[in-house]
Structures are given as C-alpha cells and as structure tokens.
A and B are shown apart, each in its own frame.
Chain A
C-alpha cells in the first residue's frame, strides 16, 4: 500500500482557492501531481452531484475549496 497515491479531483473557487493554487505555482511550492482541478465560479456553484460524479469516475478523493 505504500506506493498507493490517492487520485484527487478538486473544485476550486475562481476567486480564492484557484488564485491561491496559482500563487503556489508562482512561489514554486512543490506538491504531488495526482490532483486535477476543476475551476468553478464560486463554491456556491458546487453541487453534491459533482462530488459523486468525480468519485464514480474513479477519483479517490474530492476536495472542495473556496
């Protein structure tokens, strides 16, 4: 199991977390590449269905940030 890495789909608010992820890049902070970002206009847009869809499509974890 030590080799196992979770696959994460993240839903990031355009105004804060998405910008923060950009800033992490500008600051060259390094993190694991097993994350796929879906940009949403606001976490208000987030629907439970999106989380379920991501899990159904094979994601091990869903991260909503905003």
Chain B
C-alpha cells in the first residue's frame, strides 16, 4: 500500500497504480482527453497535468501515467496547474477550433480566442484510437508521419482487411474526428459489413455484441454474441472485462452439454414468421415501405425503434394511408408451400390497424386486403365489428403485385374488388401479414426425436389426444402443435403439463427439500430500529446517485440505527452479511434502497426471515429503475430524489407491523360440474394425478354434446373414441360420477368448498378443494329458413344423427345445401361459433363420399377453416363442392313450393340470384352456452353478454377464474371443436393441480381487516369486492352480529374496500392509511 497526499488529503493506492487511478477512487476529478480505463495510459493529451512535490521541488507530471510512490504530494487544482492546462487547451484549441469538447474546456479555462494561428483540424493526435485498435487485436491504424505531417492513418494510406469496421476507434475518439458515420460511408458500405440488427426489433434497430435481448428478458443479464464480438474474431479487446465490477465476464466459457434424466418431454419450440423476401412481386426486399407485420408490431410498440411513433421507413414521415395484405405465406400453394391457414393473422392485422389509428389519429386510412376474415376467437368478432365502425376498410381481394411509384416513396397496387372492378390505389406503407411456419431446425429436431409431422410440418396429434406426439412421453404445445394464438397456446401448455403430470404423478414431491426455519423474533411494542442498506448496484446506481451521501443521510433519519452502502445488495455474501447485521444491531425494521420491489422484494424478505424478522417489516426504495436509470444526466437531483425515496421508505417502515400469513389445508378432492367431453377429460386427468374427483352431471348419461357428433375431420368416430373416454371415467377408482344431479348450494372458498348436490330430491354434501366448471353448450334451435316445416331441412347435428344412422336418403339425395352462420355473427349474437365451417365442409365431403354425383353447395359469409382445417376446404373445392358467399344484408331465401325446398341466393361472382332445389338443407346453427346463472352466483364468477363464462384473463388465464380454486373448460368458455375442448379440460385440471399439489395455501399478510366496532353494516365493501372476500357476520352471532368481516383467504389485498369504506372501519395491512399518509408527508419537497 502506498500512502501519499492529493491536495493535502492523505490517500492510499496500490503499488504500481498511477495518480489518476487513485484520485478517481477518492472522487477527485482530473480532466483528460486520451485516457481510457481499459488501456495503458500514454500521456498524449497532457491535460491531466498535475503538480508534484517530491520533498525538494515542484514539477509537472501527467497524472494518467505517473506511478505513485510513498510520501509524494500532488496538487491537482493549484494555480500553476490551472495555468499549465490553460496553455495546453489553448494550443489544442488553435489546432482544432471547431471541436466541441475543446470549446467547453476553453470556456472552463477562460480562453476566448487562442493567441495562436487557428488551423482547421479535428484530430488532437492523442492516439487513443490507435491504442484502442491495438487493444482490439488489429492495429489497422497508426500515427504516421512526423512533426506537422503526423496523422492517424492506415499503413500506406490504403484500406486493408485488417480493419473489420468494429468502430472501437470511433467509440473512444474524444473530438469526433473519427465517427461511426464515416466508418459506415467509407468502409462498411463498400465492404459489405452489416450493422448488427436487434433481433427483438426485427432488425429495425441496431444492437451491441454485448446485449440484453430485450427489456423484459429473463434472466435480465447481458449476453455476449460470439459471432460478432471482436474478441472472438481477433483475440483482442476484452474491454468489457475492465468495466465489469464483479468479474462476471469469462470469454473462455464454452458450450456445455448437460445431461438430464427426465420422465417426459414437452416440446414448445414455437414458430418462425414467414419470410416474404421470396415474393419478388411484393418488393419486400427492395422497398423500405413494404414491411412485415412483425416489423409493424415493433413500430407500434412504445419500446420499439421509434418509441411507438408510427412512421414509414423510407423517410421517417408519418404515413397517411396503410394497407395490410393477408395470407402472405398462408393458404398459398402457388408461391409457397403453406396451404394451411395461420389462424392468427386476421386478428393481428385488425389489431394493428386499430392501434395504428389510435397512434396516428383518425385521419390515418387503414385498409385490410383479405380472402376470408377469420375472427373466430372469443370476443374477436366484436373487435372486427368495432374496427369497421372505427373506419378500418376491409377489401376482399388478394393483391398480386406491389409497384413502387416513380419519384415518390409511395406504393401502388392494382386489385379487383368484390364487384369485379379493376382498381388502382396508392399507399404510403404496406404491411404483409406473414404467416406462421415451423422452422427447419424444429423439423430437424422432430426427426431426431422420431415424432411424426403433418403435411404443414406441424406436430402430428390425435383429436382425442391433442397434446400427445406420436411418441409416448413426448408432448407438444403452442404453435408447433398447429398455428394458434396466445390464449390457445396457453391452454395447450397447461394441457401438456398435465399430460406429463399424469405419467409422473408417482414422483410428485419425491425430490423436494424442506428449508430450515429460523424462529421469528417478537418485535411488537418495540421502538423501531431501522436499518437502511443503500445499494450501488455496481455503477448502475452509484454511477449517477451519490450513494455514500444517501447512506449518510439515511443515518440521520428518525429511528434509523444503522445505514450503509453495498456494492451489490442481492449478492449472496451481502445477503448473509445483512442478516448478520440485523441480528447484531437488533434491527427490527429494514429498508433496502436499490432496484424494484417487483423483482427483489421476495429476495430481501427472505433475508429478513433468515434473520428471524417478520418479512413484512421491510420496505424498498426504488432508486435504480425509478431514479438512477431515468435521471442519468442529472446526478444532483437524482441523489436528492434518492434521499427523498429513502426518507419515504423509512417513514413508512417505521409504522410497519409484523403480519401473519395463515396456513390453510387444501382438501385434495375435485368436483367437475358437467360430464361432457371436456369435463370428463378434466376429471380423468385429475384422477390420474392422484386426486379424488367427482363429476356432477345433470342428465342421465355422460358424454354431453359428444353424443350428437358423427366424426371428426381426421375420420375418428366420435362415439367410439368418446366411448373409451366414458369407460375410463366410469372405471377409474378415483372418479365418482353423480348422474341426474345438480348443484343446489356452494359454501366456502379455495381449498375448502362445501357443495350440496341434489338428485331426485335427495341432498348430499360434498367437500372439495377445487371446482371445474364444464357446463357446456348446445346448438341453437332456430325458426329461420323454414326450419321445422319440412323434414329435409335440418340442423348440422341432425345431419350428423342421420349419418350415424346411415340414413339411405342421404346417399339418394341429388343436391344438398348448407347455410352457414345461422344465428351466429348477427347483431343479437355477435360472435362466431368457430366450429360450423369445418363441420359443414366435413359433412359436405361426407355427402360427396356417399354420393359423388350429388351437387353440394355451401352458402357462407367467410369460410373459417383455421389452421390445418384449411385442407378440407381445399379438398371440398377440388371435389366439386360449390361455395357461394352471401352477405348479412342479403341472406339466402328458403321457400317450400311444389314439394321442393327452393333456396335463392345471390351469387357473389355473377351478382345475380341463383335458385337451388335442395333435397337436403342443413342449417349450421350457432353454438349457445347453457346459461348457468345460479352456478355463477354460487362460485361468484362472471358471465359475459353472450352467456359464456368470463375467464381470469383472456390471454393468460383462459382456463381459470379470478375466483381462486375455480376452473373452466369446454363450451362453457366459448364454442370449440372436440380437440380444443379436450385440451382445455386437461388445462383446467392442470391449473387445479397447481393448487391441489401444494396441500396448503397461505394467505397474504397484506390484506384488509375490518374493525367491527367502526363498521356501520352499510355493505359497500361486500358489493364492491371483486373477490367476494367481505361478508356480513350472521345476525345471530354472539359478537358483532350483522357487521362485515373479511375472509383472509379470498382477499387479494387490493384495498378497494378500504378506500370505499365510509366509516373508515377497514384497514389494509401493510398499506394502511397511516403508512401512506406518512409516505406522502415524507415526500416533503425541501
């Protein structure tokens, strides 16, 4: 250790360090232009000149490369130093008068105009770039020439391959003599070096070789891209190592092969967006204003390359007119091999159009060119209707070519409209709605795993086992199972988890370990003793906020017994240390000023628990995400804000009380309401995973709507396959079936329900921990199209019945007509029934099979054979099924005349009415839910306008309710085909098992509590709570009869009741009024 003095202050440094390094450690600023932490100093710019007194005399040395020695005395800010630096700056200024950093320095040293002759250079010959280039392992540039001829140049003035255009020289150049712009123009543009495109931003933005893939990445730590990192090209650089405060970077790390022994594999490799560059007629590769829908997503995103400001890429001007082209890379055998429908593009295009209008204003014209509008998901049809109301234009046409408009950035398209007119139109931007496809890597993986694929390269599955691959034990979910949207992928993933769970049930909880429990210290009634730990987070916080001064300040606050700063508070050794300090200093409240409680609160609470403190005696001050990261250019105010945030946290935590988390047993029994296909699937899955399950079915048999269906599109007889499922359910020792039974009452809550089952006047009580609602739906009974007046007019299900019975009249019929959307997609029922297009087309094919000469017509509005269902639409057209489109305003007319069923419909191609005499008329009537208002009341779960149950979250919680312990599947959620009903049955079981497997549930400590003495029994809390947590205490109770109470198990701690309580009787523990008021007043703006 070397001890010496800087400006009279005693300082210490390591042997071999330079003056500047030590000064930096003590926060003493010495200006420099040519110094870089990762490079050996060279003393080229001379601005770091300081005065050195060696005991006898004073002299000037450069601080960056003068080694320290014991007893020396350094002055960094003396008058002679100031004078010396002034002269240096003046000379540099004369050489480079236009360099901003020199102008700033000149101003600082009081130079108005240099006394010397001004030149017009921008390079100060500091050589930093040369040293950096050498560090990169390249040495492509050097200081060449002598005296006034000296300059930074390449050997012999020629550009060589040594320069890899890494840009390191530009990144360190203090004057802007070398810029990335110059490198781009002079080197990269010529030698074809590409900028590194950010994958997350679809290449619309660049990224560095060291990068975090995107803001929400998990884990949120940077990665080094070996393909582009300079070190892996030249062996040099490693500059990042010098900057990493915790030595986390290791360039020698190699890929590891990890072997895992597993009992099951779930494949969720996803999809890749279709690459439209091969469609040269769309000019995607050549024209910046033709973009893909994925690029559009980024342009519309607030975290995207333009911050959500919608611009076209050619000139960054706001577009006035945008078109979307649907089915690019889908439903296309002509220009690509994807004949399936990608399922999601119609919906995302509408979403993008609506958001684009929201961002750019109503004047933005949006047009979507499509073939069939496929908005078959829950609430999607409404969104489609709303988009039309908002002025999004829908054009039914497939456009062939996009032509750039000469001398403009606009694009021109020619298309044929619905009426057969050839039109030409110009757009500022065209978005190609690209489809989903399986990547070649995934295809190779499938081959390696030995699993079969479909014609479209998706994983081959069975209708009745939709998440099982062709190889036992390997399951699949998401877009690899078939193109699908987020909700369906989420349902799939839960289903795959339960499928794997079924075969692994025996191993559940066999490898768990119990953590050691530290007894909790009782601190109630003690005076608060607050400990404050201020985190530097490396330089993330300390680079902006003056952390030591925040810790110092914290120590002065009331009740604070201890305050310190940590380099990384979340590091394991720091955690152990904090735990020790809490015990030693007998702290009973803790504040950590660091990052965000959203990610780190649980970790620090764990530290408290390990120190024997209740975890609620804790508060975080967010001085990173809400401070140092967002106020980089204002360290002073950021430090002040950090102090304020710490003060607010300390004030709040001083009022914190230890909170209790009650533990409740979960009854390991499940009740499934509804014995249809999805209900039975859920029950079987629960039982297979070891949980006793009861099926409550109101009819006299299991099977539900499955009994009405003839076959699936893959050719399976429903009766056969469902028969096997029914047999499984009936013979399973853990399943009890209650037929002709309904629910007449439900009490209790998650883990502890008590339901009353009524059957033939008999009542039976059932205690269960979870409930699955699978109450199903049915076909709409219609009076439209003369239904019921002629035996030849029937519904889809009636046609299925006749097929099952092998009715000879079917094969004898000369003509058959299907009318689609009977009762669906109409104002009184504005949703798509999802299954009818596929069902009718499959039946049309079946009729053709029975009688190839039969004339079969399908009258439709949009054909919605999504995913690989599209194949049967294609097959039907090939086999001669005629598809005639009709509009809602011009529905087909059905007349019974001369013993014939006469159907009149306006042909969409000819534009004239066509009359068809049908021997069979099938009406594809809507799927309607079995409206279950009583059940909704029992479990406090919502029903939407259409009568379907409302799930917890449309995208992320499709198979469960907001009410804990209640799950959802099948037609009760939304119309769906058998495979999707089965997947959701499994998904509901999977979600239920996450609860059952825990055996106990813990309530949160931060919940509402009612002071009954203050309660006026007004009932506002009861009516307002979305989770049904408050209730009245029974009128005949001994204490507080008629007052409100909160069930701690149901309470989610939102505080809605607290804010609404007129009597001030409700407290939210952990966020009580006194705590929030204290926080507000602690933000006292001095």
The residues of A with any CB-CB pair to B shorter than 8 Å are: 7, 9, 14, 18-19, 21-34, 36-42, 44-47, 49-50, 53-54, 57-59
Contact = CB atoms under 8 A, between A and B. Distances in A.
A57 B1054 CA distance: 25
A29 B787 CA distance: 63
Interface stretch (B150-158, B633-641, B690-698, B723-731): B633-641
B1054 A44 contact: yes
B1059 A46 contact: yes
Contact of A23 (B215, B644, B1085): B215
Q: How large is the interface on B (under 10, 10 to 19, 20 to 34, 35 or more residues)?
A: 35 or more
Contacts of B1073: 47, 49
A30 B641 CA distance: 14
B1085 A26 contact: no
Nearest to A23: B215
6 contacts: A30-B630, A33-B634, A41-B1055, A42-B1053, A44-B1059, A54-B1080
A12 B392 CA distance: 34
Given A41-B1054, A44-B1054, A25 B1059 contact: no
Given A22-B599, A37-B626, A44-B1059, 9 more contacts: A21-B626, A25-B625, A25-B629, A30-B632, A37-B645, A41-B1054, A42-B1056, A45-B1054, A58-B1084
Contact of B625 (A22, A31, A44, A46): A22
Contact of A50 (B215, B637, B1076): B1076
B597 A27 contact: no
Given A25-B630, A28-B630, A50-B1077, A40 B1071 contact: yes
B625 A26 contact: yes
Contacts of A26: 215-216, 220, 625, 629
A36 B630 contact: no
A26 to B, nearest CB: 4
A27 B1080 contact: no
Nearest to A40: B1071
A53 B1056 CA distance: 19
Contacts of B1054: 41-42, 44-45
A52 B437 CA distance: 56
Nearest to A57: B1081
B629 A33 contact: no
Given A23-B215, A38-B1079, A57-B1081, A45 B1056 contact: yes
A8 B868 CA distance: 54
B320 interface: no
B1080 A9 contact: yes
A33 B637 contact: yes
B304 to A, nearest CB: 10
A53 B648 contact: no
Contact of A36 (B637, B645, B1006, B1070): B645
Interface centre among A28, A40, A46 (most CB of B within 10 A): A40
Contact of B1058 (A39, A45, A53): A45
A18 to B, nearest CB: 7
Nearest to B639: A33
B597 A33 contact: no
A21 to B, nearest CB: 6
A59 B641 contact: no
Given A19-B598, A27-B303, A40 B631 contact: no
Given A24-B630, A26-B629, A57-B1084, A33 B641 contact: yes
B1068 interface: yes
B504 interface: no
Going nearest first, the 9 A-B pairs with the smallest beta carbon separation are: A45-B1055, A25-B625, A44-B1056, A42-B1054, A25-B629, A36-B1083, A33-B637, A22-B625, A33-B631
B624 interface: yes
A22 to B, nearest CB: 4
B1068 A45 contact: yes
Interface string B604-637: 0000000000000000001011110111111001
B303 A30 contact: no
A4 to B, nearest CB: 13
Contacts of A53: 1077, 1080-1081
B1085 A58 contact: yes
Interface string B1057-1086: 011000000001011010011011101110
B439 interface: no
A59 to B, nearest CB: 7
A51 to B, nearest CB: 9
A38 B1080 contact: yes
B596 interface: yes
Contacts of A28: 629-630, 632
A8 B1054 CA distance: 23
A44 B640 CA distance: 30
A9 B626 CA distance: 13
Interface centre among A26, A40, A59 (most CB of B within 10 A): A26
Given A33-B638, A36-B644, A45 B1080 contact: no
Nearest to A25: B625
Interface centre among B626, B641, B1079, B1081 (most CB of A within 10 A): B626
B1077 A22 contact: no
A27 B596 CA distance: 14
